[in-house]
Each structure stands twice: as structure tokens, then as C-alpha cells.
Homo-oligomer: A and B are copies of this chain.
Amino acid sequence: MRALVIDRSVPVGLRIGEVAEPEPAPHQALIRVTATSLNHGEIQFARAEAPQGSVLGWDAAGIVERAAADGSGPPAGTPVVTLGWDGAWAEYRAVDTDLIGTAPRDTDPADLSTLPVAATTALRALHRLGPILGRRILVTGATGGTGRFAVQLARLGGAHVIAATGDPATHTGALRELGAAEVVTGADALDAPVDGAIDLIGGSHLVAAYQRLAEGGTVVAVGHSAGTDETFPFGAFFGDQGRHDRSVTSFFLLGCRDLGPDLSWLAQQVAIGNLRTSIAWQGDWTRVGEAAEALLSRRLHGKAVLELG
């Protein structure tokens, strides 16, 4: 089969080459991939560290080619959305059936391919906050791929959503359309404490979010694009005066269990129009170099999707 193979002799470090088809373990289905979306982490870090000749890729939409031998997961022919550690950038991938969601027929594979890492991360990070119905929830880095899902999902979850973006002049309209009740430049600008926060930037944004938490609130530290230290000023961790039991916690999607049903639910929300994907770049997988460059330039407010075949 063909795949995007790591090749450091070519400029982008990736070329379409011929590799062996993966052999699924008994608890894995074989998926024919139709679209894959790129994530910062893959392009920025994984690409540099992966062995020459390997096949990367976390997110893939496709069709079940061969069901899992152990009987788990969907049957052949089912449209699916899949998550894994690698192997998504190929015509076929083998995936653990508990990392497969089923999709309604006729859902656009490009849309589906944006869900696995970005939307499932947004959903599970929100779940980590506990009940959010009727609560004030802050999302920093709200215009990125994960951020747009977090804003929409927090809104679907009945929260009062406050979206933070460095450029409210440009993005306020779009963020309000996604469900933000307020758009601010950062947690410093809040006029009242929040019950929880999804931080997609890190650095001073994480610290500011923590300092605006109400008693019992949590910041989930999901994204780290700031690339800087987090310095909490003396007193930030005091608990008196309504500041008891405020937490900041780390997050890793593959540290969560039972993601399959969530992938199915997210696919369904896309199909019925409850959840909008944000594809900022879309093209044939032969144009991976362009896509990677756009992603790294941080020009993209949304996801980059490669289509196969």
C-alpha cells in the first residue's frame, strides 16, 4: 500500500512511498483511510523524532475493510472515525476497536477526520471539569482546532462559555457563532470568577486562568503552545477567601478510557449539524508539504485535512 513515509532526505521530511500493509492484532480492525487531519504535535515534534521509513498519523476517517478477529468493533463496510498512536497517514491502518467510532453514512470524511484528537480532547477535558451545566467555563486559545471544539462542546453542555483569543477584533463574531457568551483577550479580563477552564496555550494564560477560578474550580492544562514556563506569583495557591480547592491538572487523551463511544457521539453531532468542524486547509495527501507549512506558520484557525484516493 502507499503511505506518507518519514524521509529526512526530502524537504518536508515526508514522501508518499510503498510500505507493507499493517497486520491487525486480534482486537484491531483494518481501516481503509479516506481522510486524515494533521495535528501540531505530529508535525512539530513526532515528525522530527520518528525513525526513517515509519508511518505516523493519529487521526483518520475511513471505512472498515476487515472487522477485528475477536468480534469486537464494527463490521466491514462501516464508515468510521479512528484514533491511534501512528499509522493514520496511509491507505490502510490497523486500529484498536476501542479507539474506533462509527459514523452516520454520508458524513463527509474530511469533517470526520478532524475529530479524533481535537474534538475528543476537547470533550474529555470538559468532562474532567465535572458538571458544567449552568457553570462559567473559560476556553483559552479558543480559535485553534481544539479550541473551536471546546467552545462548541462547552456550549452544548449548557455552560456559560467565555472564549479567550489574542485577537478579539477578528474572531469575536465567529466565536459567538460557535456558542461563546463572551469573548475576552484573556482570563485577566474576566469580570467574575470561572468554575473551570480549558487552557490550550499554557504559560501566562494557564496562570491567569488559575487565578480566576472559583472555589472548587479546575484548569485542565491541555495545550502548551506558549512554550514557556508557568510562573505563579506568591499567593496564587492560597486557599482562603473563597480560594479553597482550586486545581490545575495535566491531561493526555490516551490516558483516558473508553474513547470509542465518544468518537461515535462526536461523529453523530457533526452529522446532525450540532458540531461544526473548522477545516482551514484541505487538499490531496500529495500536498502534505503545503499543509504542514501552513500548520506550522500558525496561520490556520482550524484544522488541515489530507484526502486520500
State the A residues within 8 Å of B (CB): 123, 126-134, 153, 156-158, 202-203, 206, 215, 218, 221, 224, 227-240, 243-252, 254-256, 262, 265-266, 269
In the assembled complex, which residues on chain B have CB atoms less than 8 Å from the CB atom of A248? 237, 247-248
16 A-B pairs (CB sep. < 8 Å): A127-B133, A129-B131, A132-B133, A133-B153, A133-B156, A157-B158, A202-B234, A221-B237, A224-B238, A230-B237, A240-B254, A244-B250, A244-B256, A245-B250, A246-B250, A247-B249
B245 touches A236 (CB 8 A): no
In the assembled complex, which residues on chain B have CB atoms less than 8 Å from the CB atom of A231? 229-232
A245 touches B237 (CB 8 A): no
A130 touches B131 (CB 8 A): yes
Alpha-carbon distance A269/B133, docked complex (angstroms): 12
- Among candidates B236, B237, B238, B250, residue contacting A239 with C-beta atoms closer than 8 Å: B250
CB distance from A56 to the nearest CB of B (A): 15
In the assembled complex, which residues on chain B have CB atoms less than 8 Å from the CB atom of A250? 237-239, 243-247
B215 touches A255 (CB 8 A): yes
CB distance from A238 to the nearest CB of B (A): 6
In the assembled complex, which residues on chain B have CB atoms less than 8 Å from the CB atom of A203? 234
**Apart from A129-B131, A202-B234, A224-B235, what are 11 other A-B pairs with CB-CB below 8 Å?**
A130-B131, A133-B156, A134-B269, A224-B237, A229-B231, A229-B232, A229-B234, A230-B234, A230-B237, A237-B248, A240-B252
